[in-house]
């Protein structure tokens, strides 16, 4: 009967992606470590045991043991026992409105130490478990009570080394939970495996508004999963994909998705590897998007071609208010072509193009475009670490008379340091 109760509890828990989806050695090793008991919590149903990747690392004797285990499982889940224990499980859930009992049982089955902070705050509207070292197993245990939790609205699991399998458990939980609106999964080494699980969740979840996936080692393969999800999902408003390894292919896919996305209000792709055609396609996608208000593309490789495409996008986009393209290897010619978009744009309030080799000529051209656009909404121009000359300062003074609220930041004026030394 003990086994029956465990099985009843298991039927109430979320399932994670099929094991045979793990196609890298590291993922298979992660799966191999999950053999805690014959009734795994929140990982997969018993019907999928025969497809377990554990068989890939067992010798002949261990395979025989596994077959015996499967025979025992088949005996345990007889129709009579299954129905009876499921009813008892429902009664137990009725006496556990907080989810504390199910969490403690999950921790026991997975052999992890319960997070005391979670037990103390599981009925708060915000749960902060940053830097707790949960790992994949601890994350799966945590996902069990969160499936039915109705109190937590904001969930912060930053830096817990949950890896792909832990991320998949959270993704499965978010398919069922319809109360959580903000989730921070940054710096968790989710990888492409975790990105696929998150993408699957985004196609089904209709309550999540903010998602932070920064620093999770996503590659172009992750972009292949996330791109279609951003077309399907219309509720997510804020997405952070910064500090990953999204490259040229991901830029193309995300560009196509952004042109069709109708939910996002802010997007960060800072500190990635988007360049070349990927940068051009991403800029084209921004041109066709009519919902994004703030976009951070800093620390990529847009260069001249990307800047030209951004200039064209600014001519077409009538919604975007904040754009950050700092540290993108944009030359003076690229900045001047970008300025052509500013000459026609009526919504951009903040442009950060600092730490690019645009020199004084690029700065002058961008500021000149503001002067020639009577409908400009520009409030802040940031030319950080770029020095300008007296001609730029004179132009700035003239533009300030037209737009007194305009603020321009730069790296100083030519000759200033020489005079200061003298």
pLDDT in tens, 10-44: 444 545 333 444 443 344 334 334 433 333 444 33
Note every long-range contact of 229-234, with CB atoms under 8 Å and residues 24 or more positions apart, other chains counting: 229/198, 229/199, 229/200, 229/202, 229/203, 230/202, 230/254, 230/257, 230/258, 230/261, 230/264, 231/257, 231/260, 231/261, 232/202, 232/203, 233/202, 233/203, 233/205, 233/263, 234/261, 234/262, 234/263
When pLDDT is cut at 50, 70 and 90, the band that residue 121 belongs to is very high
- If phi over 0 gives left and psi between -120 and 50 gives alpha, with beta otherwise, what is residue 126? beta
Question: Which comes out higher in pLDDT, residue 85 or 324?
Answer: 324
For range 109-115, the mean pLDDT: 96
Q: What is the reported pLDDT for 73?
A: 41
Distance CA 408, CA 213 (A): 32
Range 200-204, long-range pairs (CB < 8 A, 24+ positions) = 200/17, 200/171, 200/175, 200/225, 200/229, 201/171, 201/172, 201/174, 201/175, 202/226, 202/229, 202/230, 202/232, 202/233, 202/236, 203/228, 203/229, 203/232, 203/233, 204/175
Q: What is the pLDDT of residues 162-206, one digit of tens each?
A: 999 999 999 999 999 999 999 999 999 999 999 999 999 999 999
Residue-wise pLDDT for 278-320, tens only, equals 999 999 999 999 999 999 999 999 999 999 999 999 999 999 9
Q: What are the φ/ψ torsions at residue 128 (nearest 5 degrees)?
A: -115, 110
> 204: closest CA among 231, 232, 223, 228?
232
Distance CA 39, CA 6 (A): 7
Q: What is the mean pLDDT of the chain?
A: 83
**Token representation of residue 288:** 């066709």
Query: How many Å apart are CA 305 and CA 110, to the nearest integer?
Result: 52
* Average pLDDT value for residue range 241-253: 98
**Per residue in 128-174, pLDDT tens?**
999 999 999 999 999 999 999 999 999 999 999 999 999 999 999 99
């Amino acid at each position: 009967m003990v086994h029956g109760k465990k099985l009843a509890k298991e039927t109430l828990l979320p399932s994670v992606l099929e094991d045979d989806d793990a196609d890298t050695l590291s993922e298979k090793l992660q799966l191999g470590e999950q053999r805690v008991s014959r009734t795994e919590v929140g990982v997969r149903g018993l019907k999928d045991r025969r497809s377990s990747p554990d068989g890939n690392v067992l010798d002949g004797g261990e395979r025989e043991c596994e077959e015996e285990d499967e025979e025992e499982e088949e005996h345990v889940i007889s129709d009579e026992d299954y129905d009876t224990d499921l009813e008892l499980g429902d009664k137990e859930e009725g006496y556990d409105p907080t989810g504390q009992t199910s969490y403690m049982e999950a921790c026991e089955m997975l052999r992890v130490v319960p997070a005391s902070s979670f037990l103390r705050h599981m009925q708060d509207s915000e749960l902060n478990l940053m830097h707790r070292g949960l790992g994949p197993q601890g994350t799966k245990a945590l996902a069990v009570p969160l499936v039915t939790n109705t109190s937590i609205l904001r969930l912060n699991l930053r830096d817990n080394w949950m890896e792909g399998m832990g991320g998949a458990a959270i993704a499965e939980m978010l398919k069922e939970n319809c109360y959580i609106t903000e989730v921070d999964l940054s710096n968790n080494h989710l990888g492409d495996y975790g990105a696929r699980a998150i993408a699957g969740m985004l196609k089904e979840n209709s309550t999540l508004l903010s998602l932070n996936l920064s620093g999770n080692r996503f590659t172009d393969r992750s972009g292949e999963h996330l791109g279609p999800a951003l077309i399907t999902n219309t509720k997510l408003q804020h997405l952070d994909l910064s500090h990953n390894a999204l490259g040229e292919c991901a830029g193309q896919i995300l560009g196509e998705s952004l042109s069709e996305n109708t939910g996002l209000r802010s997007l960060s792709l800072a500190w990635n590897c988007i360049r070349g055609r990927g940068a051009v396609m991403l800029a084209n996608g921004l041109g066709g998007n009519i919902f994004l208000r703030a976009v951070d593309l800093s620390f990529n490789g847009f260069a001249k071609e990307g800047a030209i495409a951004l200039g064209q996008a600014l001519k077409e986009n009538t919604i975007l208010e904040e754009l950050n393209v700092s540290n993108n290897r944009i030359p003076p010619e690229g900045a001047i072509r970008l300025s052509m978009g500013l000459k026609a744009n009526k919504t951009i309030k903040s442009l950060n193009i600092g730490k690019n080799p645009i020199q004084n000529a690029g700065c002058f051209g961008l500021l000149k475009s503001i002067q020639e656009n009577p409908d400009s909404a520009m409030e802040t121009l940031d030319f950080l670490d770029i020095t300008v000359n007296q001609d730029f300062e004179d132009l700035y003074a003239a533009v300030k008379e037209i737009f007194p609220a305009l603020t321009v930041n730069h790296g100083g004026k030519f000759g200033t340091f020489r005079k200061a030394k003298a």
